[in-house]
A and B are shown apart, each in its own frame.
Chain A
Amino acid sequence: MAKRIDVKDLNLFYGKFHAVDGVTLSVPPRNVTAFIGPSGCGKSTVLRSLNRMHEVIPGARAEGEVLLDGEDIYASSVDPVSVRRTIGMVFQRPNPFPTMSIRDNVVAGLKLAGVRDKKKLDEVAERALRGANLWAEVKDRLNKPGGGLSGGQQQRLCIARAIAVQPDVLLMDEPCSALDPISTLAIEDLITELKKDYTIVIVTHNMQQAARVSDQTAFFNLLGVGQPGRLIEIDDTEKIFSNPTEKATEDYISGRFG
């Protein structure tokens, strides 16, 4: 299941704007990697490029290599749809499909890929909801719309939906930024559990969160307005938060800027 990611000299563009310059990093399997850095430094852009969601935006393109267990997801023969099936994503704002029930939301990925077997779908729905720590709360109202849940529940529903298709990697783009502290805690606990089965990359603005959930942390920064974002350093979370190599990292983490 869980696979490793190697990014080699990745450059990302929005039209003519050079958004991210020369990122090289590795994410080992069954490991949580946190991306931190000030707004606009390109951490979300890098995250979205890891499952080819970056190019969904008109004019956006990527140069460089992203290897999933050695296989380049940007190779010309690769279908972006199959990449996204392998590398799931959870977004900043919870976005359950409004026309679907809770159950249908969870199995949407399978159902729309053509799985019809009702028994199998029910099994997957239960497993995914249990995996997302949501089963107990929704098991009696699986046929109610997903939009009726609270924000925190909706976000866990989105995580359930993402893990229902059994991806190898899970990308999370500030998954807790729209949630209250209790829901945030529920999601952080969930991340720690999901780590057993998945490779996880999470973008966060909350440094305590990065320190709590991640094994390694990457710090992104940009040199100035209009300049591309860069990866400043990536290391074990403990080292980044106690004794970073770069001065910029130390400044950011200790709150001297950003």
Chain B
Amino acid sequence: MTTTDLQRPATAPAFQHISSGRRAKNMTATVLVSAAFVIAVAPLVWLLWTVLEKGFTHVLTADWWQKSLAGLTGRQEGGGAYHAIYGTLVQGLICAVIAVPIAIMVAIYLVEYGRDSKLAKWITFTVDILSGVPSIVAALFIYALWVTTLGLPRSAFAVSLSLVLLMIPVVVRTTEELLKIVPDELREASYALGIPKWKTIVKIVVPTALSGIITGIMLAVARVMGETAPVLILVGYTQFINYDPFGGNMASLPLFMNSERLTTNEIGEARVWGAAVTLILIITVINLLATVISRLTAVKTK
């Protein structure tokens, strides 16, 4: 049976096809968004690929993780980056130990005590400015304070101090945002049980936000570990292992790369790429740890 005009319904059906204009707009937008994604991600993937391709084979030896370059010249193969890995980790750790308690207490003040006071607003403003300070400015400030004014030697500890300046604003900001999203209802529930304010903060508010705070701290640590300006200015490079953060030169991965860059042969090149891969690996491991810890401490409902 064929359909004739007479058999067609008198009114148009309620649901129409997608019009060609909308289809075209949808296509254009999809292409634009996808293209933006590719443009953003391509250089990152390229960078990661180049670094891994050129450096990954060099970090596969046990020597790389266990030995320094002590006694080796730029023409001799072998040795490792242990001295630089140690430096990067210990400088990051000292920085975190100093910066994290200060930053968390500042954030607690801002959210729980300061609220809308003038002092709190002033601190927030300062933290915002500090978070925009370039790392070289932080490094020069510590140089002026530590070396010029106090007359102390350049050291890994001075590097950690300048990293502290870079880390505090980041941790304050993330902690502040996380404490703010803890509902006031929880604070009130705690007060109504006759729990004092400080205990409410320590036992109720901070644990509720803890998972996010830990993630923020780990990401901040990963970030400062790659900072280059402070190590260039505040400590000298050495091929030897130095366990003393307060005296003598201490290598770190950025410094190692900067130094080996000057060894213009294949051996130097291999060391630079190897150090780059090592730094990326360390930061990846820290990020993974952050994810795991935040999962473990996350608020559960089941």
**Which residues from chain A sit less than 8 Å from chain B, CB to CB?**
51, 53, 56, 58, 81-86, 88-89, 91, 93, 95-99, 108-109, 112-113, 144-145, 147-148, 158, 161-162, 165
Known contacts A95-B183, A145-B300; A56/B188 CB under 8 A: yes
Contact stretch, chosen from B85-93, B203-211, B272-280: B203-211
* Cross-interface CB contact of A112 among B185, B186, B203, cutoff 8 Å: B203
Q: How far is the CB of B282 from chain A (nearest CB, A)?
A: 31
Does the CB pair B193–A109 fall under 8 Å?
yes
Does the CB pair A112–B301 fall under 8 Å?
no
Known contacts A82-B194, A91-B185, A95-B183; A148/B302 CB under 8 A: yes
6 contacts between A and B (CB under 8 A): A53-B191, A93-B185, A97-B186, A98-B186, A99-B208, A162-B193
Q: How far is the CB of A156 from chain B (nearest CB, A)?
A: 14
Does the CB pair A53–B188 fall under 8 Å?
yes
**Which residues from chain B sit less than 8 Å from chain A, CB to CB?**
115-116, 183, 185-196, 199, 203-204, 207-208, 210, 299-302
Contacts of A85 in B (CB 8 A): 193-194
- For the residues of B in contact with A, the DSSP-based class is helix
Does the CB pair A112–B193 fall under 8 Å?
yes
CA distance A83 to B115 in the complex (A): 25
Does the CB pair B185–A113 fall under 8 Å?
no
CA distance A148 to B207 in the complex (A): 18
Q: How far is the CB of A93 from chain B (nearest CB, A)?
A: 6
Known contacts A81-B194, A81-B196, A109-B195; A97/B302 CB under 8 A: no
Known contacts A99-B208, A147-B300; A91/B194 CB under 8 A: no
Known contacts A58-B115, A97-B204, A99-B208; A89/B301 CB under 8 A: no
* Cross-interface CB contact of A144 among B186, B203, B302, cutoff 8 Å: B302
CA distance A232 to B30 in the complex (A): 63
Contacts of B196 in A (CB 8 A): 81
